Structure 1
Amino acid sequence: MKLIFFFIFFSFYSLNSAQMLSSVYFKNNSYVLNQESKNKLDSLALLKSNLTFRIFGNCDPSGNLSLNKKLSENRANAVSEYLKGKISSKIKLQTTVGLGVEKQINDNSTEDLREKNRRVDVFIEKSFAPGEKISRKAYPSFLNTKIAMMKVKDTFSLPDVNFIGGRHFWLPNGNTNLLRLSKILKENQSLEVELQGHICCDYENFDGEDIDLKTFNLSWTRATAIKDYLLKQGIEKNRIMVKGLGHLNPVVYPEITEADRIKNRRVELVLTKK
């Protein structure tokens, strides 16, 4: 089965709270920052909160493994060195790592997708006091909201639909509400939705590893698992889109207990057409 790795570009993706991601891109076989990238990094350096920056270099699979590893390191170092001269004392550069081709989030079937793998990701995290965490209010339940009250682009939760750690299989108590979801979609044929997958805990990557499929798009495979379920229930394929949002929009952060982690292993739903 061919899996498409969806890349979600976040620039100052705000969470009330906790985490952001910004990415800069490079030409093939280059680690030179262009002006657009410098402008983006200049903006990051203006952030005033107590923050930690973690920098990860990536590349497409052109060339051999050792050259790719070195290229990704050079890209990460180029970003790190540029930021060192810009950031305030409140921002800590914690990690600068070149990943080579180990954790690509796109396949390389087109030049556009290869370009998205030639990048450096800057993960930005708020500093927390020991024991401190944020808990975001859950979105309204899609299952309990009247269709007449729904608006296109609204986001909804799927209560009790949570996943086993590292896997795209939901816990058994999600079965009842997924059946309810399919019933609502069958009874309201005009509705179209986007399923948005989430993960917990993996802060070293945009997305987590699906231990069954051996890919680094766990949030996407979780959303796709629910799509596949709905298709088997008779919902038309063109009414369901999927997207993986990685770890960047947690309900609870940082995850201190297993209950926190379970809450973040979820899929949410955006109404795209009514």
Structure 2
Amino acid sequence: MRILIILIFLGLNSKAQMLTSVYFDYNSARLSRDSEKKLDSLSRLNTMLKFRIFGNCDVSGTSDYNKKLSENRAHAVSAYLQKKIGRNIELQSVTGLGKEKQINDNSTEELRRKNRRVDVFIDRVMAPGEIRAGKAFASFFSKKISEMKVKDTFSLPDVNFIGGRHIWLPKGNKVLAQLAGILKDHPSVEVELQGHICCDYDNFDGEDLDLKTFNLSFTRANAIKEFLEQQGISPSRIKATGQGHLNPVVYPERKEEDFSKNRRVEIVLLKK
């Protein structure tokens, strides 16, 4: 338990926000003992924090039923935390999202289970005017593949996206063509594309205005994956994932330049 608290604290000092989730049985809003242990760890954090709580469901049942069930789950978490937290932690909001904002499809029981959850967004209270900069990664093009280490993360400079969409700005075309060329020249290389969003702090992920789904960070990464496939790169060499809003380059965003910097995709070397 102590190790978990330390890890959460260290994460909060390196990032503007963190997310933890607890999971529920089918058709249930009762906390398991494992979930209670995880919430106990959150309640013992000593820094000044704000918690925002969001309940979720899988797609079983009607919209009205799932809205109520997600609210019951969110309030179960809120009520448990309320008994535990000190004055340094503020429960800022408690919301049931129902089944309308799925971040996983429901094709398997494991994915349905992941949709039966409550997300707790943890925000560190910031001083007036404070801006936190996330970790800046070196460009993928700054090193030779032979000099890179597996699992290292790199930026894709100038690859930024239109707000609310998975379409990158024109300046990214040259960069992505260069990326395709490197992957063609190194056929053993495998990568993960990690998508990010800005601004939407009421959800883990943003709405893709074109697809009407709430997985914008994923659809941005997947758009680049599809582009690389069109250039002849095998899909087995590329993994696309969505990181939501939890790793901003600039937080909070105050101007369009900040928004644009956070609408990005980063690349992780999986194999070389």
* Length-normalised TM-score, structure 2: 0.94
Q: Give 1:137 deviation, angstroms.
A: 4.0
Matches within 5 A, 1:1-274: 12=8, 14=11, 16-274=14-272
Answer 1 or 2: which has greater helix percent. 2
Separation (CA, whole Å) in 2 of partners of 1:261 and 1:129: 20
In structure 1, what is the equivalent of residue 3 of structure 2?
Answer: none
Q: What letter matches 1:19 in structure 2?
A: Q
Q: What letter matches 2:19 in structure 1?
A: L
Query: 2:195–2:242: 8 Å Cα contact kept in structure 1?
Result: yes
Deviation string 1:152-174 (CA, Å, 9 cap, x unpaired) is: 00000000000000000000111
Q: What letter matches 1:205 in structure 2?
A: N
Q: What letter matches 1:116 in structure 2?
A: K
Deviation string 1:16-51 (CA, Å, 9 cap, x unpaired) is: 131000000111111110100000000000111111
Secondary structure of the residue aligned to 2:54 is strand
In structure 2, what is the equivalent of residue 4 of structure 1?
Answer: none
Deviation string 1:44-93 (CA, Å, 9 cap, x unpaired) is: 00111111000001111222222111111110000000001111111100
In structure 2, what is the equivalent of residue 8 of structure 1?
Answer: none
Separation (CA, whole Å) in 2 of partners of 1:23 and 1:252: 24
Separation (CA, whole Å) in 1 of partners of 2:201 and 2:78: 18
Secondary structure of the residue aligned to 2:159 is coil
Q: What letter matches 2:270 in structure 1?
A: T
Separation (CA, whole Å) in 2 of partners of 1:113 and 1:237: 22
Q: What letter matches 2:212 in structure 1?
A: K
Separation (CA, whole Å) in 2 of partners of 1:138 and 1:270: 14
Query: 2:15–2:247: 8 Å Cα contact kept in structure 1?
Result: no
Query: 2:134–2:247: 8 Å Cα contact kept in structure 1?
Result: no
Secondary structure of the residue aligned to 1:22 is strand
Secondary structure of the residue aligned to 2:156 is coil
**Deviant stretches of 4+, over 2 Å:** 11-15
Separation (CA, whole Å) in 1 of partners of 2:109 and 2:91: 32
Size of the aligned set, in residue pairs, is 264
Deviation string 1:113-164 (CA, Å, 9 cap, x unpaired) is: 1111111000001111222111124201111212221010000000000000
Secondary structure of the residue aligned to 1:267 is strand
Secondary structure of the residue aligned to 1:201 is coil
Secondary structure of the residue aligned to 1:178 is helix
Separation (CA, whole Å) in 1 of partners of 2:62 and 2:223: 34
* Length-normalised TM-score, structure 1: 0.94
Secondary structure of the residue aligned to 1:159 is strand
Q: What letter matches 2:264 in structure 1?
A: R
Secondary structure of the residue aligned to 1:29 is coil
Secondary structure of the residue aligned to 2:201 is coil
Computed over aligned residues only, the root mean square deviation of the Cα atoms, in angstroms, reads 1.2
Which of 215-224 and 233-242 deviates more? 233-242
